[in-house]
Chains A and B, each alone.
Chain A
Amino acid sequence: MSTDIGSGTGSDATTIEVGADAAAGGSSSSSINPASVRAVAKKDFRDSIRSWMFWGLSVFFFTLLVATTGAISYFGDDIAAQGQTTEALVAMVNGITRLVIPLIALILGWKAIAGERESGSIKILLSLPHSRKDVLLGKLIGRAAVLSVSLIVGFVLAALVVVALLGSFDIVDYGGLLVMSIIYGLAYTSIAVAVSSLTRSTTIAGAGMFGIFVLFYILWDTMLVAFMTLMNSGYLPEGETSAQVALFFNSLDPGVAYQNVLSLATSMPEMDQQTVQILENTFGSVPFYLQDWFAFVILLAWIVVPIAIALFRFDRVDL
């Protein structure tokens, strides 16, 4: 398997061959060892949990929930009258976390790999019997744990205040928002760690994070608007297929998926009757990609796909 390493002629060809060789072998050095992943994740979590960031995040989530609850209990007499206070809280908080969690995850994951390569501390990790895959997965889990634990701390502490302030407290809705927020955070952490593994320069990694931010905060919507505009002005064929493509594209946005998936975990309505009516008139039935189970699949895909690409590629590079 490895004996043909020296047999290549051109240096470029040989490098590729070596990379493919190491991967194709499925050998022990590119395998995943759960104990190793855990050790790396634990170290990474310890390395970051002491920083002000973790406590800052916990306080932030706590404040966000308490402030929103306060606003609802102060202004939201109608909501309270309908007994939908937790539901309203979930909807309002979700609107904010949708925008904030990606930023936090990108900042947390920015240097995950690139920083260690730039400083050389990755040599400590990889001098020990960890595979590169172990390191990537450990980093993903470690960084995601920082975000998740601060979400949990913020949510649990805020729950005491929320229960006191809100007339009715629905723990399923509240817990559902927490769980989906963790999954959403995991998706963006996966994206961040994957991008961070592509380079050994934190500057380039930072630019990559900014690119991701622009893509999902600006470009994705802009592309959708552009598509609609082109369609409406007749440059693209107007019709069922075009509309399907646009809606499908929209549903791939992790933020959209995060919002849609809440109806799966909370009592938030999936879609109002009017929308369902329009969709049924247009397509005959509600398309699968607009259903909340698919939103969950999309979120999972945003966790799995970026880290899978990174796992594949990171095994092949010189550190």
Chain B
Amino acid sequence: MPALRVDDLTKSYGQTLALDDLSFEVRKGEVFGFLGPNGAGKSTTINVLLDFIRPTAGRVEVLGRDAQAHSRDIRSRTGVLPEGYRTYDRLTARQHLEFAIESKAADDDSEALLERVGLADAIDKKAGGYSKGMSQRLMLAMALVGEPDLLILDEPSTGLDPNGAREMREIVREENARGATVFFSSHSMEQVEAVCDRVGILRNGEMVAVDSVEGLRNSISGGTTLRVTVDRIDNEAVQAVRSLSDVSTVTVGSEQPPTITAQVEGSKTAVLTALEDHGVDVRDFSTDEASLEDVFQSYTTGTEVHAR
């Protein structure tokens, strides 16, 4: 049984189609990164999972139960960090936690949870004075109440500094190790690639790719980019490089200093050797691997992206 199953989910607002026949599954026990640019439909999908909004068509199952008919059961086993929420200004962090603990009939310790998210020093301060990052930590603590089977985190890094984002990912790893499935939405690949087992990329309400991080990395062509700075451009040398079996494209930059850029699948030394065999002096070279950010860009903008 998958932790989450979305079947042909469509949601339209009048003429606007927010989700278009969206289907995907999240396996039990995995960390799933739900990626897409702002406005792609990530929050709409999550709102359907939580029964905040009703689908126009399609079916959603969370933890094996229908998301609409059994929403209360689902939410009692799920921890949620929603997007676009606002904390209760007049309640303290402790009172927020107490409310979540009472609501879930759990027996967690508010202080321990707030300590875990790094908010222990503001425990009795009213949330009205919190920064965005502090609110985000508070909501994460509330999501952890009751050791949920599923964590749904909508843009959890919003408002967090790099250090806070790393702590948040650390908590995601810990929760996953405990056995929780994590569904994690983000508009930035950087936030998810370090923790996610699999990634789904959403664009204009449609899933354009679902794969492991490794699979996505391999899915774009070119492998490694080799950039060689040479003393001069020699056409024969360039032809020789082009004819190598491991090299796909070669471009020549004629500005000073002249550079030759090649997409290489296999051995990079073969390229350097070919150049030197033709009397070209190699001054410097650098390599770049395709980053996941590039993969994400290529899927979400539709433009062809080469490795840097």
Residues of A within 8 A of B (CB): 1-3, 5-6, 8, 11, 14-15, 18-19, 21-22, 25, 27-29, 31, 33, 35-36, 39, 42-43, 46-48, 50-51, 119-121, 123-124, 126-131, 316, 318-319
Number of A-B contacts (CB under 8 A): 128
**Separation in Å of the B268 CB from the closest CB of chain A?**
50
Partner of A19, one of B10, B50, B54: B54
**Separation in Å of the B8 CB from the closest CB of chain A?**
6
* Residues in B neighbouring A22, C-beta threshold 8 A: 54, 68-69
B37 close to A (CB within 8 Å)? no
* Residues in A neighbouring B84, C-beta threshold 8 A: 120, 123
Name A's interface SS.
helix
Q: Are B70 and A18 within 8 A (Cβ)?
A: no
Q: Are B57 and A14 within 8 A (Cβ)?
A: yes
Partner of B142, one of A8, A39, A124: A124
B204 close to A (CB within 8 Å)? no
* Residues in B neighbouring A25, C-beta threshold 8 A: 69
CA of A1 to CA of B66 in the docked complex: distance in angstroms? 10
**Separation in Å of the A95 CB from the closest CB of chain B?**
34
* Residues in B neighbouring A35, C-beta threshold 8 A: 105
* Residues in A neighbouring B68, C-beta threshold 8 A: 2, 5, 18, 21-22, 29
CA of A319 to CA of B58 in the docked complex: distance in angstroms? 19
B7 close to A (CB within 8 Å)? yes
Question: Which chain B residue has the least Cβ–Cβ distance from A51?
Answer: B90
Question: Which chain B residue has the least Cβ–Cβ distance from A318?
Answer: B53
Partner of A28, one of B57, B59, B73: B73
CB contact under 8 A between A121 and B87, given known A5-B57, A5-B58, A127-B80:
yes
CA of A53 to CA of B307 in the docked complex: distance in angstroms? 61
Name B's interface SS.
mixed
CA of A266 to CA of B99 in the docked complex: distance in angstroms? 40
**Separation in Å of the B48 CB from the closest CB of chain A?**
10
18 pairs of residues in contact across A and B, judged by CB atoms under 8 Å: A6-B8, A11-B12, A15-B54, A28-B70, A36-B103, A46-B90, A47-B90, A121-B85, A121-B86, A123-B80, A126-B50, A126-B52, A128-B75, A128-B103, A129-B72, A129-B75, A318-B52, A319-B53
Q: Are B52 and A123 within 8 A (Cβ)?
A: yes
CB contact under 8 A between A39 and B103, given known A28-B73, A29-B68, A121-B85:
yes
Partner of A319, one of B10, B47, B72, B99: B47
Partner of A14, one of B56, B76, B82: B56
Q: Are B72 and A29 within 8 A (Cβ)?
A: yes
B88 close to A (CB within 8 Å)? yes
How many chain B residues touch the partner (CB < 8 A)? 45
CA of A129 to CA of B103 in the docked complex: distance in angstroms? 7
Question: Which chain B residue has the least Cβ–Cβ distance from A31?
Answer: B72
Which one of B7, B58, B73, B82 has the highest number of Cβ atoms from chain A below 10 Å of its Cβ?
A: B82
* Residues in A neighbouring B248, C-beta threshold 8 A: none
B297 close to A (CB within 8 Å)? no
Partner of B50, one of A15, A31, A127: A127
B95 close to A (CB within 8 Å)? yes
CA of A33 to CA of B50 in the docked complex: distance in angstroms? 18
CA of A35 to CA of B99 in the docked complex: distance in angstroms? 12
Complex A-B, nearest 9 residue pairs according to Cβ-Cβ distance, in ascending order: A29-B71, A127-B80, A129-B76, A318-B53, A128-B103, A123-B82, A119-B86, A123-B85, A2-B66
**Separation in Å of the A17 CB from the closest CB of chain B?**
10
CA of A124 to CA of B83 in the docked complex: distance in angstroms? 10
* Residues in A neighbouring B88, C-beta threshold 8 A: 43, 47, 121, 124
* Residues in A neighbouring B51, C-beta threshold 8 A: 29, 126
Q: Are B58 and A6 within 8 A (Cβ)?
A: yes
CA of A46 to CA of B57 in the docked complex: distance in angstroms? 40
* Residues in A neighbouring B75, C-beta threshold 8 A: 126-130
Q: Are B80 and A29 within 8 A (Cβ)?
A: no
**Separation in Å of the A253 CB from the closest CB of chain B?**
35
B102 close to A (CB within 8 Å)? yes
Partner of A124, one of B7, B57, B69, B85: B85
CA of A124 to CA of B47 in the docked complex: distance in angstroms? 12
Question: Which chain A residue has the least Cβ–Cβ distance from B61?
Answer: A2
Which residues 1-55 in B have Cβ within 8 Å of A in the complex?
7-8, 10, 12, 47, 50-55
**Separation in Å of the A9 CB from the closest CB of chain B?**
9
B125 close to A (CB within 8 Å)? no
B264 close to A (CB within 8 Å)? no
Partner of B59, one of A3, A19, A39, A121: A3
CA of A56 to CA of B143 in the docked complex: distance in angstroms? 36
Which one of A29, A51, A319 has the highest number of Cβ atoms from chain B below 10 Å of its Cβ?
A: A29
**Separation in Å of the B130 CB from the closest CB of chain A?**
13
CA of A253 to CA of B41 in the docked complex: distance in angstroms? 48
Q: Are A120 and B72 within 8 A (Cβ)?
A: no
